[in-house]
Amino acid sequence: MRPIKVLVTKIGLDGHDRGSRVVAAHLRDAGMEVVYTPPWQQIDAVVKLAMEEDVDVIGLSCLATDHLLVPKLMHALRDGGLAHVKVVVGGIVPDEDEVTLLDAGVSRVFHPGTSLDDITETITDLATLALANDEHP
Amino acid sequence: MSNAANDDTAELVQRLMDGQRAALARAITHIESGASLAPRILGAIQSAVGNARVIGFTGAPGVGKSTLINAVIRELRKRNKSVAVAAVDPSSPISGGAILGDRVRMGEHGSDDGVFIRSISSRGHLGGLSATTAQVIDLMDAAGWDVVVIETVGAGQSEVEIAQIADISVVVCAPGLGDDVQAIKAGILEIADVLVVNKADQPLADQTCKQLVAMLELRHADRREVPVLTTVATSGDGVERLVKVIEQQYQENVEATRVRGPVQRFQYLIANAAGRQLQEQLATSSEKAMHDMCARVSRGELSVDSAARSLLEAMLR
Ligand SMILES: Nc1nc2c(ncn2[C@@H]2O[C@H](COP(=O)(O)OP(=O)(O)OP(=O)(O)O)[C@@H](O)[C@H]2O)c(=O)[nH]1
Ligand SMILES: [Mg+2]
């Protein structure tokens, strides 16, 4: 079976990417193929990238208030025909906003203190379905 | 394979040839992972292969290949060419995982629909990395992209093979890296159609150019001339000239480079794959015939070459 492919990226204005780099390295060490981008990505660029790289999962790191952009991204992904791509969000997300994100189609929100192994395990579970479908074009 | 899977494959190929980028992306995934429907996809696109120009960029880690490709794309977009890039990234030998970072340097084109960028990890590809890359090129070609650009870290045999698949191979190096020049000596120079000294804003660029020109002079006099250019990928200096030279080389070189036509191309790929498989088999063989050959070579009765030839003849009979 092929490795899981993950996009680790940041949308919005916050530029603190230490966290997403640590996660990216950990996923790589767990045997995944990780496409990593610098912060400040545009939503249309994220959709294009996810499509061209045919990733299974998108991991977004959201500090500050960037998570408020996530529903917009979910919408753009669906418009781009990428409804099958799973999205997880890590960072500081207030409880009431978490509900909004999950409603918008986000699979999981990781709060501060989540272990790297927990993140890896969740992403593995989410991607397993996609990999099982590989034999179907 | 079920009929339903056949229909789905046909539909995927149709969407790919219609230029839908999601279909191209998915087809690449199938090729990359050696999915059972990969051969059918490849077969179905062959009639549409052969229109793209394929440019390979090879060089040691960090010399600026991705940044240079970013600048080359900018130049090609000015000329209204659509560009697909396949960036081959080494994967970690330990976990098999990889951080695919080349496209970060090409972020400038992140929202341009005339550019398609795909990272390819060099994980254990069946039939070798070069065969996978060759097939990805075919897919991009069949999907209608005008120019296909390949980035590889110039080190091993598979890079030399990938360079041979490209129409034009650009070998990139950086100033003052003695090791770099050594790496080039080890075969990569032989496949260069154009040599670029990137990071020409740094000291020693001129000296490195002179070294390269001197090394080129040691090659056979009947070989085609290899232009040596300097670029500053980060500022774009020298890149317009590079694109012009690539175009010239292509014009002078149409038949000589990319192995055109499915038959030649596949013969080349099959031969490479066979060579690799054979080497693996022979290197671990405990057959009596192999044992005998080793004994005879060690007694000085036979050369290594003749031993290999008789083993091969016995196998292919
Ligand atoms: N000064 C200077 N720096 C450059 C130039 N071109 C690239 N760089 C820098 O060199 C570093 C490596 O550039 P990349 O484009 O990633 O090099 P690469 O050859 O693709 O690297 P790998 O894919 O890791 O093998 C980056 O920090 C670039 O900004 C240049 O012309 N001048
Ligand atoms: Mg690179």
CATH code for the domain in which residue A19 is found: 3.40.50.280
B74-93 residue pLDDT tens: 999 999 999 999 998 766 66
A95-111 residue pLDDT tens: 999 999 999 999 999 99
The segment(s) of chain B belonging to CATH 3.40.50.300 are 49-260
What is the structure's pLDDT at B128?
66
Residue A104's domain spans which residues?
5-132
Share of chain B above pLDDT 70, in %: 84
Q: Is the pLDDT of residue B36 over 70?
A: yes
Determine the atom of ligand 1 nearest the C-alpha atom of B102: 23
Q: Is residue A30 part of a domain?
A: yes
What is the structure's pLDDT at B131?
79
What is the structure's pLDDT at A119?
96
What is the structure's pLDDT at B225?
82
The segment(s) of chain B belonging to CATH 1.20.5 are 1-46
pLDDT tier, B228 (very low <50, low <70, confident <90, very high otherwise): very high
CA distance B10 to chain A (A): 9
Q: Is B109 in the pocket of ligand 1 (CB under 6 A)?
A: no
Size of interface A-B (CB pairs under 8 A): 102
What is the structure's pLDDT at A122?
96
What is the structure's pLDDT at B124?
57
Q: Could you tell me which residues come within 8 angstroms of residue B311 by beta carbon, excluding any fewer than 6 positions away? A: B282, B289, B290, B293
Task: Give, for ligand 1, the residue of B67, B105, B109, B149 to mutate: max count of ligand atoms closer than 8 Å to Cβ.
Answer: B67
DSSP state of B232: B
Share of chain B above pLDDT 90, in %: 44
- Residues of chain A contacting residue B32, judged by C-beta atoms under 8 Å apart: 2
Pairwise CB contact (< 8 Å): A134 & B101: no
Let me know: does A88 contact A106? Beta carbons within 8 Å.
yes
What is the structure's pLDDT at A57?
97
Let me know: does B115 contact B80? Beta carbons within 8 Å.
no
CA distance B230 to A109: 48
The count of other CB atoms within 10 Å of the CB of residue B46 is: 14
What average pLDDT score do residues B137-159 get? Answer: 87
Let me know: does A88 contact A60? Beta carbons within 8 Å.
yes
What average pLDDT score do residues B14-28 get? Answer: 96
Q: Is the pLDDT of residue B297 over 80?
A: yes
Q: Is the pLDDT of residue B223 over 80?
A: no
Q: Is B174 in the pocket of ligand 1 (CB under 6 A)?
A: no
Q: Is B95 on the interface with A (CB under 8 A)?
A: yes
What is the structure's pLDDT at B79?
96
Q: Is B102 in the pocket of ligand 1 (CB under 6 A)?
A: yes
Determine the atom of ligand 1 nearest the C-alpha atom of B69: 15
B56-68 residue pLDDT tens: 999 888 899 999 9
Query: What's the number of domains chain A is made of?
Result: 1
What average pLDDT score do residues B159-168 get? Answer: 78
What average pLDDT score do residues B28-56 get? Answer: 90
CA distance A44 to A26: 27
Average pLDDT, chain B: 85
Fold for B1-46, please state it.
Answer: 1.20.5
> Which residue of chain B is at minimal alpha-carbon distance from A36?
B101
Interface ipTM above 0.90? yes
List residues of A whose CB lies inside 8 A of any B CB. 1-3, 24-25, 27-38, 41-42, 44-45, 48-49, 51-54, 80-82, 134-137
Q: Is residue A137 part of a domain?
A: no
Residue B50 φ/ψ, nearest 5 degrees: 120, 5
CA distance A20 to B40: 39
B232-289 residue pLDDT tens: 999 999 999 999 999 998 888 766 555 556 667 778 778 877 887 888 888 888 888 8
**Which residue has the least CA distance to atom 30 on ligand 1?**
B199
pLDDT tier, B184 (very low <50, low <70, confident <90, very high otherwise): low
pLDDT tier, B229 (very low <50, low <70, confident <90, very high otherwise): very high
- What would the 3-class secondary structure string for B154-205 be? CCCHHHHHHHHHCCEEEEEECCCCHHHHHHHHHHHHHHCCEEEECCCCCCCH
Q: Is residue A115 part of a domain?
A: yes
The count of other CB atoms within 10 Å of the CB of residue B55 is: 26
- Residues of chain B contacting residue A4, judged by C-beta atoms under 8 Å apart: none
Residues around the ion ligand 2 (C-beta < 5 A): B 65-66, 102
Fold for B49-260, please state it.
Answer: Rossmann fold (3.40.50)
Closest partner residue to A81 (CB to CB) among B9, B22, B104 is B22
Low-confidence ranges of chain A (pLDDT < 70): 133-137
- Residues of chain B contacting residue A30, judged by C-beta atoms under 8 Å apart: 95, 97
What is the structure's pLDDT at B270?
82
**Which residue has the least CA distance to atom 26 on ligand 1?**
B64
- pTM of the full predicted structure? 0.89
β-bridge partners, B100: A35
> Which ligand is closest to the CA of B201, given by its number?
1
